[in-house]
Every structure is written in C-alpha cells, then in structure tokens.
Chain A
Amino acid sequence: MNRLAIPKTYKLYIGGKFPRSESGRVYEVLSHKGDFLANAAKGSRKDARDAVVAARSALSGWAGATAYNRGQVLYRIAELLEGRRAQFVDEIVSSEGVTTAVANAQVDEAIDRWVWYAGWADKYVQVAGNANPVSGPFFNLSVPEPTGVVAIIAPQGSESLLGLVSAIAPALVAGNTVVVVANENAPLSAISLGEVLATSDVPGGVVNVVTGSPAEIAPWLASHADVNALDLVGAGDLDWVELQISAADTLKRVLPPESGADAAAPALQRILAFTELKTVWHTKAIL
C-alpha cells in the first residue's frame, strides 16, 4: 500500500516568516488540468503593507552589507535552488503542464540568472559610477546606490519561477529590498522560493512574497508612500497606466510591463533602474 503523502501548506513570506494572510482568505491553485493543487494565501492590502514595513526595516542592513557579501548571498540562493530543483520541477510540471525537460530548463535558467546577478553585486558600481574631472580643486565621485523599497508585480506568464527570479534578482543586487506579488495562477514556486531564500542567508524582510490577486494588491503598493520604486514587468494585463499614474504622486521610479519569453531579460539596466546616483564633491586642501 502506498504511503499517504504530506501536502504542504502554502503561505506568504513576509519579514523572513511564513504567515497566513491576515485576512484569512485563500484561493485554489489548480493544475493545468484543473485538478486541485493547493490553497494559496490570498494576500490582502494589510499583508502588502506589512510586507512594505518588513522591507523597509530590512533595507539598511541589506543596503549596508558589503557588495562581496551580497554577491555571496545571491550565489547561495543559486546553490540552494540547485539542491532543491526536484521540488521546483515537480511544481512547474504540475501547475504549468510542461514536460519534465522543459521544467528542468526553466529551473536551470533561473539558477543561472541568480549566478549572473550575484556576480554583478561587486561590479555594477564600477561600471556605472564615475570619477568626474571637474574644473576646480575637488575630488568628485559619482556612485550608484539602491533606491530603497521596490514593489514588483511578477511576470504572470507561463514560466512562473523564471519570471519571478528575473524580476527580483536585479533589484536585490544593488541592495534594494523587495515586495513581490507572485504569479497569480502559478504561485507555488514563489512560495517555495521563499523557503529557499529563508535558508540562503538572505536576511528576513529583504524579499517578501505576497500571493493573491495582483489586480487587488498592486494599487496599494503603487500608492504606498514608503515604496520607492515600482516594477510593473508583470502588470501588462492590469490597468497598469492607472498604477503608473498613482505612482507619480510619490514620484516612484517605474519600470513598464514587458511581455513574452524575453520579459525581464537579464540586463545591467535592470540593476541600474533601481539605483540612485550620488555625486560627492570633496574639497582638496591647498598645499
């Protein structure tokens, strides 16, 4: 007789913990065939706000970590993802209806993106910064710094894990903290990724995952005054222009929706989109 399996309870990932939605709501996650897979937490406005609070409190620690340290932590995520690939492949196969080979390729690419972005952590400042030859007795240096708390609407397309990783990894490189609204129809890999993050030396609150309806949650994040930037990469099916208008009230930095397999393709510009350039003029003594 077969052993009876132990199904996982899929919850939110906020502040390094796995709470249920404060609203008590869940929604059914179905397989591509329409079979029941799990009850995912249906995140609320309050959950999103809690996630912003968690992201804000984690910011100074993560932004203040050395670039070498951030790089190692991001690489550690790749290591742990590699070790737990079977679980991700299973979830992708069941929820996206693809073959094991296709799911494996998606996990491969997701792991490789963590590695690629991990390597940028101690380099993007050199590539994007500048020493400026000003006309005067000054040592003048421009250096990019993290923008702050970044809210992300994860890609809602077919590759749930890859889309999520492609959106959150670049924001983390510079030292931003993240609140991400997961793929609504395929949220399982987002919650499982939270479990990887929780054991990858990523400090609690640096990444916060809210599952549920992007259409319901996104407006609260777009208008939240303690969110500094908004990545609408997966918001193409929402009323994203309204979200962008709302974000303008607090002059958030906004990335527009992208679509297709190329959405959130790995790029240095994705890292730099959520950085601020600081220029410091140091006065030289007269000898």
Chain B
Amino acid sequence: MKFLDYAPAPESQALLNLKSDYGLFINGEFTAGRGTPFQTINPATEQQIAMIATANETDVDDAVVAARHAYDGVWSRLSGSDRGKYLFRIARLVQERARELAVAETLDNGKPIKETRDVDIPLVAAWFFYYAGWADKLDHAGVGPNPASLGVAAQVIPWNFPLMMLAWKIAPALAAGNTVVLKPAETTSLTALLFAEILQQADLPAGVVNIITGDGSSGQALVNHAGVNKVAFTGSTSVGRAIARSVAGTDKRLSLELGGKGANIVFDDAPIDQAVEGIVRGIFFNQGHVCCAGSRLLVQESIHDDVIDRLKRRMQTLRLGDPLDKNTDIGAINSSEQLARIRELSELGQQEGAERWSADCVIPENGFWFAPTIFTNVTTSHRISRDEIFGPVLSVLTFRTPAEAVAKANNTPYGLSAGIWSDKGSRILAVADKLRAGVIWANTFNQFDPSSPFGGYKESGYGREGGRHGLAAYLKPAVRTGSRSIAAADHGASPVTKKSASASKKSASAEKAAK
C-alpha cells in the first residue's frame, strides 16, 4: 500500500438474507414461473447470487388478471387517503431496510455501495413518500377535477437503477389509483423481489403490485397484453420504438423514457474545478449507465487544454474495484453484453480518429470492468458522439460561441438532458432556453428529485416521471359532458380507440347517407 492509498473498507453482507430461488410475485404471493429459471450474477465476481423465475405468457396473463381483480375489487374503491397510507408505509419500510436494499442492489447491479446507499435507495424512499401525499389530492394533478385512474399499468424497467426505476414507476401509478404489473430487467431482478417482501410487510392488498421476471420476451408479452391500460417503459430507444408500434391503434396510454446523448457545456467563465467535478459526475456516475449521462463534453475552445488536464488529473484519483467497498467510485459494468458494446464503440472511436485516454487503474481479474475513458478530437460525425454508449466513456468536442455550443448540443435525435457550466446567470438562462432537452442542469449534473419532472424531447421519448406531471401520466380527465362550444371547454377531449373509431366510421357514413 502506498501513501494515500485506502485500506479496503467493504460493506458487510451479513444483513442480507437472500433466498437461493426467487419466484414471481403474483396476487400477493411468490409462485414458481412456468418458464426456465435463470441465474442472476454479481457482475463484479461473476458468481451466482440466486436463481430467478421466468414468466411465460400464462404467468403474464395471471399477473394482469390479478392486477385487474385488485383494481376492480379493492384499489379503485379505496379512498385516496388510504392509498396514500399504504405508500407512506412502503416509504418507511424502505427506509428501515435501506442498508439491506443498498447491499443487495450493489451485489446484483455492480454499482458502488456509495451510490446505492446515498442515492438510489434514499430516492426510492423519497419517491414513495412524495407520491403518498398526492394520493388524496388528485384534483390538483393538472388534469381537471375528479380525474380517473387508468386501470392496470404494465411497467418495464431497465437495469441501471433497478429499485429506483421501480419506485419511479410504482409510486405514481398507485397514488393515482392504478394497479401494476412490473417487469424488472433480466440482470437486475433481485431488489424488486425484496421489494415484494416489503409489500407483504406493508400488507398491501394482494394483486395491487405484481412483479414478473424474465427476459425481453416476458416484457413483450406484458406490454402486448390486451388487459393493460397503460404502458410505461424505460430503456433503449429501439425497444421504445417497438413498443410505440405495438400499442398503436389501442387505447393504451404510453410513457417512454428512452436513450440520450446529453451535452455538458462548459463555458470559459465556468468555475473550472466545479465543472470538472460535474463532468465526472455526469459521465462516470453509475459507470456511465445513465440515460441522461453527460456523454458529450462541449468545452469552449479557449479553456479546452486546461479543462482536459484537470479532468485527467481528477480521473486518476477515481477508484475502480469492489463495488461493496465504501471507497469505490467506479463499480462493475452490469453485464458482459454491455461491456462488449462499450468496447466495440470505444474501438470504433479510435478507428475513426479520436484520441483515446483512459485512467490508469487496476482491472480486477473476474467480473466486467471498463476504465474511465475520454476521447478528445471528436467531431460531430463520429459514432462516439452520436450513439449512446451507456458506459464510462466521454466524448470531448469544442466550440467557440454560445450559438455553436447550442447548435452542437442540439445536433442529435435525442433530447433528454444537458448541462451548462457558467458563472453568468443571463447566459445560463439564454442557453437553457435554446437547448432541446427535457432536463437541464446549470452548474450541477445528474440531480434527481421526486418533485422534479424527468423525461425527454424528440427520440428520448415522451411523458414525464416525477412531480405533478409524473402523476398526471397515470390519470385521465373526468368524462366530458355538455356542449362542444368554447363555453364548455374543459380539460379533456375523449380520443377514440380503434374500436370506437370503426363505430365512428359507421356514423360518419350514416351522416353522408343522410345528406
């Protein structure tokens, strides 16, 4: 050990009490799946943690039926304040079992315990606490008085923030009065199943939340199930497109939170050391497995060399290794597939002429790892500045004027996030106005809060999670009555579905015949 090296400080796994096999959570109980079980591994060691059930179409059907029964029989009849009380209970139980959840999440996902302990799990509790309070205040959600819940929500979440994404999905859905079938990502099902135990402790009525596990085909079966009223998906843009196609023509409401290629813009008057911290937080937080990551650094030409020097110096201090170690900054890449993609795009970056630099760190023997890496001399046409890499890889571009920064930042089909670093308030406001992105951080990055809406422009998807808008995504206006005139204008038109559209075709032709 050298001077200023850290001694190992691993978080204990003793408080974990994991089972060797996990079933599906349907109608309040764990049941074996009808598909072939699969193993979930620790990506830092490649060791098996547990076996997880696979839901086939019949299991998915069971889960949707359970959710429907719970919706019709219990949840939609419960008062808002009682729904809220269940959510408050869940928030408290998550807080009580926070350390256990953090350790399990780190084990299953590979992200540093520092992050699960200080970011993921506290936000899970905060999300339930925030939406618990909304459950009896739905008139203020922004969709008019007496809004109605949608019914059964099908929710499919990614592996990068497993339990946090679960909370983002389940909390507003339940607060609004919907019931849920949720499918976690194949590689990170563990904490969702621990969460199911928490629901049992909270005595949540059976069927209100159902959790089914499996690969993409289980998720597909869920999304395509005729019995669901709402589909909420977080994940890749390609899968998002497929889902948008599959729900076309149905009356399913859809929220999509998809990919991104966020620009982090550093102006010459920025507080450079703070900006460097923000760049690191923007792209190396959670190994860069963040849809809103600041994966394109746009730095003003005059300060480029200074920023890059300081960034490299800072990156040399990042500690990569055992995710359970409290001093670890960079954990494991979540899967071998993801590691292969990061490697492939990084090699492409080199081939296309960008200059690669990686922090000098020891890569553990087992597990999936990728050293924090930056590419300089990147142009807007390089694949590494266009494609979402979803790893700890930063592409650095330069600009001369604010207008050029805005043009480059917006030069992407994505529109999820962006960062602005400047000491000049008026410039921040003007640039923030021009950026086509759903979340913009000024002199900070990767901040999340249950009261703050999150979601994208353009091909980063539609709909918002968090805040009042995240609640409205699970509500519809009360049924319209009265006249069509502007005097009667209220909050909602009632769109037709495929079924009623054909009925309307009939009435339209009847109208023509009448003429």
Contact = CB atoms under 8 A, between A and B. Distances in A.
Contacts of B245: 245, 248-249
Contacts of B461: 251
B310 interface: no
A258 B462 contact: no
Contact of A259 (B439, B455, B507): B507
Interface string A241-254: 10011011111011
Contacts of B453: 130, 132, 142, 277, 279
B423 to A, nearest CB: 10
B127 to A, nearest CB: 12
A258 B501 CA distance: 8
A42 interface: no
Nearest to A156: B508
B17 to A, nearest CB: 31
A61 interface: no
B492 to A, nearest CB: 5
B440 interface: yes
A278 B440 contact: yes
Given A240-B501, A248-B245, A251-B241, A264 B440 contact: no
A185 to B, nearest CB: 9
Contact of B438 (A130, A135, A247, A278): A278
A280 B454 CA distance: 10
B511 A258 contact: no
Interface in B63-91: none
B128 to A, nearest CB: 14
Contacts of B491: 267-269
Interface in B473-515: 477, 480, 484-486, 488-498, 500-501, 504-505, 507-508, 511, 515
Contacts of A237: 505, 508
Q: Find the residue from A259, A281, A282 having the highest chain B CB count within 10 A.
A: A281
A260 B511 CA distance: 10
Given A112-B486, A251-B258, A262-B484, A281 B444 contact: yes
Interface in A38-75: none
A258 to B, nearest CB: 6
B441 interface: yes
A264 B493 contact: yes
A144 B501 CA distance: 30
Contact of A261 (B449, B484, B488, B515): B484
Contact of B451 (A132, A228, A283): A132
Interface residues of A, number: 60
Contact of B248 (A130, A248, A259): A248
Contact of B442 (A128, A147, A283): A283
Interface string A138-151: 10101000010000
Nearest to B462: A253
Interface stretch (B40-48, B200-208, B463-471): B463-471
B458 A228 contact: yes
Contacts of A245: 245, 248-249
A112 B494 CA distance: 21
A128 B491 CA distance: 12
Given A281-B444, A282-B428, A258 B244 contact: no
A254 B508 CA distance: 22
A128 B488 CA distance: 20
Contacts of B469: 130, 142, 277
Nearest to A237: B505
B50 interface: no
7 contacts: A142-B469, A236-B504, A244-B248, A244-B249, A249-B241, A251-B237, A276-B457
Interface of B: 126, 142-143, 237, 240-241, 244-245, 248-249, 256, 258, 415, 428, 432, 435-444, 447, 449, 451-455, 457-459, 461-462, 464, 467-469, 477, 480, 484-486, 488-498, 500-501, 504-505, 507-508, 511, 515
